[in-house]
């Protein structure tokens, strides 16, 4: 018996989902959504001087949510930085033109993976001794699909100078925007 054909009829749908997303279901829908990708090339703003904060970030659609992976360099060694998707795809005015955190569900600013937080609240960046922060996270509250309310393509990815306190509303009090990029499909 071929498991590809038996998997979609999984009697207990929840158990099916928990078992790493039913490979049979993925096989039945060849990469139509899995192929969605986007990227962001973070460039330094003039909000602080000097500033060599730069980075490359890849967004890959998953069965549920998006993998956000990449690296940001040029940070002060050993520091933590607020890292968010902001509402508007405009890095003008030293990133301030990007507006507030992307928040289509009307959430409250908080830590990444908190159910009530903004969709744009990502895991904070932590720079290593060389000033490089590397990350790969699954963000369930965002999408890359056109026409969905939580689509982040065309919005801005922002690195802040300071650490996010995850408490101050609605910003996290993370200070000036030291790097910004518009998230672009591709
Ligand atoms: Cu931000």
CB 72 within 8 A of CB 54: yes
- What DSSP element (H or E) covers 83? strand 83-86
- Compute the radius of gyration of the chain from its Cα atoms: 18
> Which residues, by Cβ under 5 Å, contact ligand 1, an ion?
84, 158
Q: Is the peptide bond before 170 cis (omega within 30 degrees of 0)?
A: yes
Assign residue 49 the CATH number of its domain.
Answer: 2.60.40.200
Residue 34 is predicted with a pLDDT of 46
State the average pLDDT over residues 35-39: 92
Specify whether 52 is located in the same domain as 131: yes
Specify whether 14 is located in the same domain as 95: no
Specify whether 8 is located in the same domain as 71: no
**In terms of residue numbers, what domain contains 1?**
1-30
Distance 86 CA to ligand 1 centre (A): 6
State the pLDDT confidence band at 98, using cuts at 50, 70 and 90: very high
Q: Using alpha carbons, list the distances in angstroms from residue 94 to 43, 71, 102, 159.
A: 10, 21, 18, 11
State the average pLDDT over residues 62-83: 97
How many domains would you assign to the chain?
2
Predicted confidence (pLDDT) per residue in 100-140, tens digit: 999 999 999 999 999 999 999 999 999 999 999 999 999 99
Predicted confidence (pLDDT) per residue in 127-180, tens digit: 999 999 999 999 999 999 999 999 999 999 999 999 999 999 999 999 999 999
């Amino acid at each position: 018996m071929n498991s590809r054909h038996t998997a979609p009829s999984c009697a207990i749908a929840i158990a099916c989902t928990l078992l790493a997303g039913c490979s049979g279901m993925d096989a039945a829908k060849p990469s139509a959504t899995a192929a969605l990708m986007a990227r962001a090339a973070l460039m330094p703003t003039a909000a602080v001087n000097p500033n060599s904060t730069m980075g490359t970030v890849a967004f890959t659609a998953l069965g549920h949510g998006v993998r956000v992976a990449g690296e940001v360099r040029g940070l002060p060694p050993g520091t933590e930085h607020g890292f968010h998707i902001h509402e508007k795809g405009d890095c003008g005015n030293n990133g301030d033109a990007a507006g507030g955190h992307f928040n289509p569900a009307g959430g409250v600013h908080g830590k990444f993976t908190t159910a009530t937080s903004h969709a744009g609240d990502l895991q904070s960046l932590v720079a290593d001794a060389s000033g490089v922060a590397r990350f790969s996270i699954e963000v369930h509250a965002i999408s890359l699909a056109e026409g969905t309310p939580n689509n982040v393509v065309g919005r801005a990815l922002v690195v802040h100078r300071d650490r996010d306190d995850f408490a101050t509303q609605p910003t996290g009090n993370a200070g000036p925007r030291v790097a910004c990029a518009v998230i672009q499909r591709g």
